[in-house]
Every structure is written in structure tokens, then in C-alpha cells.
Structure 1
Amino acid sequence: MNPSRHEIGIVGGGLAGASAALAFARAGFDTVHVAAPASADGRSTALIGPSVRFLERLDVLAALDGRAQPMFAMRIVDDTGRLLRAATVEFRAAEIDLPYFGLNVLNRDLLDVVRAEGDRLPGRLRRIEETVAAVELDADHATLVTDAGRTVACRLLIGSDGRRSVVREAMGAPARSWSYPQVALVLNFEHQREHEGVSTEFHTASGPFTQVPLPGRRSSLVWVETPEEAARLKDLPLDRLSDEVERRMHSILGSVSVEAPVQSFPLSGASVMRLAGQRCALVGEAAHVFPPIGAQGLNLGLRDAEALLACAEAHRDDPGGAAMLADFEARRRADVATRTAAVDLLNRSLLTGFLPVQALRAVGLGALAALPVLRHALMREGVEPGSAVAGMMARARALLPGQRASG
């Protein structure tokens, strides 16, 4: 069977892959998206900063039609019960002149909209709902074969096929993985009181317990626990689990009613030594795996897709060529590395009983509560990665001899 030929091929049916397929097709690239139908996903994602703007340019946000909840404030509460406890810190988007930090949306709603927008581009986006069985890479093309025997060739192959990526395996890219002694329960719930667009993260001795607002009197919850406690909680009837959620939240939203299903995920992380190879690049969980902490996973994957598209547009004469892929690697490496280290450090700092680490954490959160300048810098870095470093560099340049006079 002769292969179908395209400029861009994307493997993986999750949100990062579907968004990348829509973005490349919207930009005028002949795109094929190869993925088995995605399984139902009851989780939500807090879209932050660049992710919001990226999806806005793709007309995805307008199509969500009230299914996304703005997050106006985020609160961190030390609920570890340890000797050295940190001050409660509240971040408000209005402090840095933003209407909101981001939007929380159910993954299934977001995927439905992304795919519907792609359906509007039948001449530029082709979908093949089959599983990729093999990938071959050479200097001119990447070729993939599906489990149904279909062959597809493309100039740039994008692997967005998860932590067991077939594309990454074909690249021969070494991956370093690790696990945590924790399991995340993920669920949605209704509650008695208005959340007012506030997300509250309770830091506990077993990990974060994070409520994120959804439209109406509903919220999503990521609850990190020991494997034994997570198993016990997941087996509870929904009414008893609802009581546990209300108790752990100190009833700040009143009585709650947990919705089925309750999902659980062992916490792990992974990083890949290279993000690009011969005629291919990795985005999303094919490139980096995060525990569900700090809203980094999909946001980082969408930044991968946006950067890869920018590089392809800058090298339209040869998308997938060595120069384009080197540009992508350079653009994404620092962001991925720093976010990986930050999430890992936050999670491990909660697990340790070592007093000096507890003291450092308490002092750090206390400084954020007391010093608006520091708090504002962290907020800007959260919604605009790299902005804190850029701001420090700008202030440093302003202090150099001759700079103030020339301004």
C-alpha cells in the first residue's frame, strides 16, 4: 500500500496532540492526526497564561460557551499540622492587573471543542482513528504504520502519544523516570457555598489537597495521599467520601456531594534527554511527565505545541528539518527543566519531616504573604513563564552605568 503523504503527522489522541493538530492545520500545514479514540476523562485542567492565549487564537475558548470557570484567586493553606507551619498566602489576579489567572475546564469538554474546531478544516486536517504500530525515521521523512496496515509519511512527525511513546522509542531518546510514594485521587463535586472563583490548595503531610473552581457551585479536586489511604478513600461510598472531602476542606464551601467517577493515579515523573530527533519532535507526556501538582502537565504540553508551530512557521521551506528541530529544542529545554525541578521540589518538601526543610518552606511562604513585590513576581512567573527572570534582567540593565542616562 502506497503511503499517504503529508507535511505534518501527529500521533496521540489526548489534548496536547489534538490541540497541536488543530494549530498546525489552522496555520495552513497539510496535517494528519493518527490516534485511537480517546478514553473518557473526568478530570479538569486549569489553563494558565500562554495556554489561554494559544487556545483563544484557535477559537477554542469562544466555543466553550460558559463551560470554563475563571480563577480570580489562589490560596495556599499550610495544613500539615507540623511544628513549623507556614502563613496562609493568597494570590489575587487583580494585584497584577489581570482579569483572572486562568480558566478551569473539564478535559472532555475541552477535547470535544478542539475536535469540533478541527472538523471545520477537512481540507487541511485528516484524522485516522487507528493505533500506531511502528515508526521509521530517515533524513527526509518519518513513516508510520498503523495496526490496520495503513502507511503514512510526513516531513515532521510529532509524538504526543504519552509516557510510553512509540515516537520517542523510535527516536531512541533516553528517558529518566521516577515515582513518589503517593497516589492522587481526582474527582469533581458540588458544594453548598459559592467558590467565588477561588482555588484553595491545602498543603498536607501526605501532599497537596487542591480544590479548583468549575462553573456553578462545582469544583474539581486533586487529593494526594499515601497509597493505602487513597485505596481506603476510593472504596468509600460517595456519601461518606463527601463527608471526608468537607472535613479536609474545613467546610469552607459548606456541605459537598462527590460525583462519580472517582479516579486514582499513582504519582510519577519523567524527563527526556532530547525533545527532538530525526524528522520528529515530542510534546506533552511523551516529553515530560508531571504529578498533578501546580497545573503544569497540559499547560507545558500546549507550550510545547505552540513553540513547535512557531518553529515550523519560521522554517516553512523544510518543516522537520535539522535547523527547525534545533530551534525547537533550544526554545523548550529551559522551561521544561525548570518546571520539572519546581514541581518535584514542592512535592518532596511536603513529604519530608526534616526540620530545616520545614523551616525553609515556612519562611518562604511567610515572605510571600508579607512581601507584595515577591508575591507579584511569583504570580507573573506563574502566568507568564520566564517573566520573573526577564524582569530581573531588565532591572539589572537599568542599573548599569550609562543605561539610566540613555533612557
Structure 2
Amino acid sequence: MERRDIAVIGGGLAGTATAIALARAGFDTVLVAPPGSPDKRTTALIGSSMTFLSRIGLEHAVRAVSEPLAVMRLIDDTDRLFRAPTVEFKASEIDLPAFGYNVLNADLADVLDKAAGNEKHLERIESAATDFTVDADRATVSLADGSHLSVCLVVAADGRKSAMREAAGITTRGWRYPQTAMVMNISHAVPHHSVSTEFHTRTGPFTQVPMPGRNSAIVWVEKPERAELYVDLKTEKLERIIEDKMHSILGKVSLETEIQAFPLSGASVDRLIGERIALVGEAAHVFPPIGAQGLNLGLRDCAVLLDCLEESRDDPGRRATLRRFEAKRRTDVTSRTLGVDALNRSLLTDFLPVQFGRSVGLTAMASSSVLRRFAMREGVSPGAGVFGLPKPLRQWAHRQHAMGDEV
């Protein structure tokens, strides 16, 4: 049985990006994943995600099929006693041409698949990984087709029901919210001008995210019983409701895709590593579709893992290397998990002190450019709020300005 450096298990967006990055860094990499199905949802790739894609040479290909996010607007549509003013976050306030880019997951997958096919250090095996075992200096991965792989390191990117995580004995804590997320794409009469608008409602966020042309993605969080009714509505009626939910800011809307509905849930793990295994993406953390955290957090996992492994080329699965990876990722993962959970629950509660606190916080950001800039820097690059944007992100911004981005 031939021994390889690294096996990346899972062919989703985070897994494929990780495999490409490791192969381009010179690691003998195997990507183990059965063929996937097209995903009509979109992902907003924020700042640090774009710098990672630039690092692995895919930024231009992704930008060619995506829409810049120049402004992010928050509107309090709760109709409660304490209502916050509208807050607009403009990328230009922190010297960026855009916070990031919104891309169809299917288009991003195409970019990644083409890049993976051109990597000389990357082999793709279209089978599922079912188990793995570990001895002193290697891990053996068992595949559904009966074959086995011997590797120094297993990177588990096989999603929220990760078989590799389970095989490693890493425990998961999951939770559910009393909400359903409905996802769809629309076209509209009025241009969006690269502005994303998030309406905070009593049942959760209703978010419009710009796509190329006069198109947008919608993420609509509702009570499960209402979501069931909306999914079964006639198209014309649903289009009118969506326009009303957006207060007609984009004029008449038309549905371009069927609605996909998902119960909202979250999950965290007790550790991000095990013996010769590291977790990335949804194998490591599960988020509801709020605040564009899911894939962005997964790509930060990829970037940090790559940094750590480049310092341990002789044995990528060394315990000290994996401990360093976990130490660098734990704070970011924990803080984002708590932040998204708190934001979502603050919209659901009728407890007046919570409503008041949320209103005060948004009012402060609306009136203070210092607080807005802090929040924006922290959003595009965790830890950058106090000290400003890191050098790679500043370099990315300079390149965008030099290319004359119009956003």
C-alpha cells in the first residue's frame, strides 16, 4: 500500500479548496469524495476568503463569476418598542473596494474542480471514506470500494455528519433553532448597486445578497409552520410577498429558482484535531445561514492549516503541528459561534432588556464611524478590529483598486 502525505476527505467547497492549497504547496495529496450534485445557493466570500483564493491562484476566476459586495445594510424591521436605526457599512470606509464577492456555489465548485484537475500533486478518488485507523506514524483510510490509503494526515472535510470525525472519537454538541431557512434566487426591476440588505424581523433575518446583473440571492428565516406555507404558495403570490418583505427597494421581483428549505441548526466539536486528523469546514463547525460565516470560517481553517503544515513538511500529521493548528483556530471558531447564536436569539426574544441592548449597539454603530470601522475590519479579518487590516488583505485591496474595480 503506497503511502501519501495527506488525504482530504470530502469534496465540498472547503474540502476541494484545501486539497488544491495543499497540492500547490507541494504535498502529495489525495482528495477522496464521491461526485456531488449542483448547488444553486450562493456564498458571500468575505475579505480573508478572497485573500486565501488569491494565495492559491483562483481569485480572478472566482471574481469573474461573482458580484462585489460594496455596502452591507442592516434594517430593523421588528416593529418592537426598541427599534434600531438603519446602519450602512461601506467598504470604502476601510479603504476596500468591496467586503468580498457573492458567488453561486455551483460556479465556485466549477472553478475549484477545474483547478483540482490541473494539479500535478493532487489525485482525486471518487469514492466515500468510511473509516480510518491510526498507528505510530501513519493513518489508514478505508474506502467504500474496499481499497485503503496510507497517509501521514487525514483532513476531515466531509461535512456535518463527518464519518472521519466519528471514527476519531471526536464528540459533537448540536442544537436546533425554532426556525427554517428558505433559500432562493430572484431577479428584480431595480439595480442593486452591489448593496446587500439584511432585514431583522421577529422570526429572524431576511437577507438580500447581490448577484451579477439584476439578480439577488435571498435567505429568508421564518417559523417552520410559516415556511411550509410559503414553500407551497403559487409563484406569483410568493413574489409579491418577497417584494413586500423588501419594502419594494428593488421593485418587482421574479423567482428564478425553486425554494430550498432547511431547518436551522448549529454544532460545535470538543476538539478540532485527533491522532493524525484535523477537522475543517462543517466537520468542525456548523452555522445557520446568518452573517456569512459558514464557508468563510471553513476557508480560514484551510489557510491556517496550510500555514502550520508548511512548517512541518517532514511529517504533516505530527501532534505538535496539529496542536498548533487547533490553538490558532479555537478563538475564531468559538467567538463566531457565540456571536451568530447571540444575534439570532436576540431577534427571537421578547425580553425588553435584550431588545434594548441590541438597539443601543446598532444605534452606536450608526452614529460612530470609529465603531463601524472596528466592526467592518473585524468582519473581513478576525482580530483586525483594533490594529487595522492585515498586510495580505491590504495588498489584495491595492490590487483591486489598481485593476479599477467598479463597485
Tell me the equivalent position of 1:62.
60
Confirm whether residue 268 of structure 1 aligns to residue 289 of structure 2. Answer: no
Equivalent residue runs for 1:284-323 within 5 Å: 284-323=281-320
In the alignment, residue 310 of structure 1 is paired with which amino acid? D
Inter-partner Cα distance in structure 2 for 1:153 and 1:233: 49
Which of the numbers 368, 372, 379 marks the counterpart of 1:375? 372
Inter-partner Cα distance in structure 1 for 2:254 and 2:220: 15
Query: SS in structure 2 opposite 1:312?
Result: helix
Tell me the equivalent position of 1:207.
204
Confirm whether residue 232 of structure 1 aligns to residue 229 of structure 2. Answer: yes
Query: SS in structure 1 opposite 2:257?
Result: strand
The Cα offsets for residues 127-163 of structure 1, whole Å up to 9 and x where unpaired, read as 0011112221223111111111111111010000111
Equivalent residue runs for 1:276-287 within 5 Å: 276-287=273-284
Query: SS in structure 2 opposite 1:293?
Result: coil
Inter-partner Cα distance in structure 1 for 2:139 and 2:261: 36
CA RMSD of aligned residues (A): 1.2
Tell me the equivalent position of 2:195.
198
1:12 and 1:160 in contact (8 A); partners too: yes
Query: How far has the Cα of 1:374 moved from its partner?
Result: 0.7
Number of paired residues?
389
In the alignment, residue 268 of structure 1 is paired with which amino acid? S
Query: How far has the Cα of 1:94 moved from its partner?
Result: 0.5
Inter-partner Cα distance in structure 2 for 1:142 and 1:361: 48
In the alignment, residue 69 of structure 1 is paired with which amino acid? E
The Cα offsets for residues 317-355 of structure 1, whole Å up to 9 and x where unpaired, read as 210101110110111000000000000000000000001
In the alignment, residue 64 of structure 1 is paired with which amino acid? V
Which of the numbers 46, 49, 52 marks the counterpart of 2:50? 52
Confirm whether residue 328 of structure 1 aligns to residue 321 of structure 2. Answer: no
The Cα offsets for residues 77-136 of structure 1, whole Å up to 9 and x where unpaired, read as 000111111110000001111111110000010011011011111x31000011112221
Query: SS in structure 2 opposite 1:196?
Result: coil
Inter-partner Cα distance in structure 2 for 1:66 and 1:254: 27
Which segments of 5 or more consecutive residues in structure 1 lack a partner in the other structure? 392-407
Query: How far has the Cα of 1:197 moved from its partner?
Result: 0.3
In the alignment, residue 206 of structure 2 is paired with which amino acid? F
Query: SS in structure 2 opposite 1:261?
Result: coil
In the alignment, residue 239 of structure 1 is paired with which amino acid? E
Equivalent residue runs for 1:237-252 within 5 Å: 237-252=234-249
Confirm whether residue 385 of structure 1 aligns to residue 382 of structure 2. Answer: yes
Equivalent residue runs for 1:90-169 within 5 Å: 90-121=88-119, 123-169=120-166
TM-score by length of 2: 0.94
2:376 and 2:385 in contact (8 A); partners too: no
Query: SS in structure 2 opposite 1:347?
Result: helix
Query: SS in structure 2 opposite 1:274?
Result: coil
In the alignment, residue 358 of structure 2 is paired with which amino acid? R
Tell me the equivalent position of 2:400.
none
In the alignment, residue 7 of structure 1 is paired with which amino acid? D
* Pair 51,251 (structure 1): closer, same or farther in 2 beyond 3 Å: same
* Pair 185,328 (structure 1): closer, same or farther in 2 beyond 3 Å: same
Tell me the equivalent position of 1:178.
175
* Pair 145,218 (structure 1): closer, same or farther in 2 beyond 3 Å: same
2:138 and 2:152 in contact (8 A); partners too: yes
Inter-partner Cα distance in structure 2 for 1:339 and 1:65: 26
Query: SS in structure 2 opposite 1:251?
Result: coil
Query: SS in structure 1 opposite 2:115?
Result: helix
2:373 and 2:385 in contact (8 A); partners too: no
Inter-partner Cα distance in structure 1 for 2:62 and 2:384: 29
In the alignment, residue 179 of structure 2 is paired with which amino acid? Q
In the alignment, residue 178 of structure 2 is paired with which amino acid? P
In the alignment, residue 50 of structure 1 is paired with which amino acid? S
Inter-partner Cα distance in structure 1 for 2:106 and 2:145: 27
The Cα offsets for residues 36-57 of structure 1, whole Å up to 9 and x where unpaired, read as 1112211100001110011122
The Cα offsets for residues 362-407 of structure 1, whole Å up to 9 and x where unpaired, read as 111000001111111001100111112546xxxxxxxxxxxxxxxx
* Pair 110,144 (structure 1): closer, same or farther in 2 beyond 3 Å: same
1:135 and 1:166 in contact (8 A); partners too: no
1:72 and 1:197 in contact (8 A); partners too: yes
1:307 and 1:331 in contact (8 A); partners too: yes
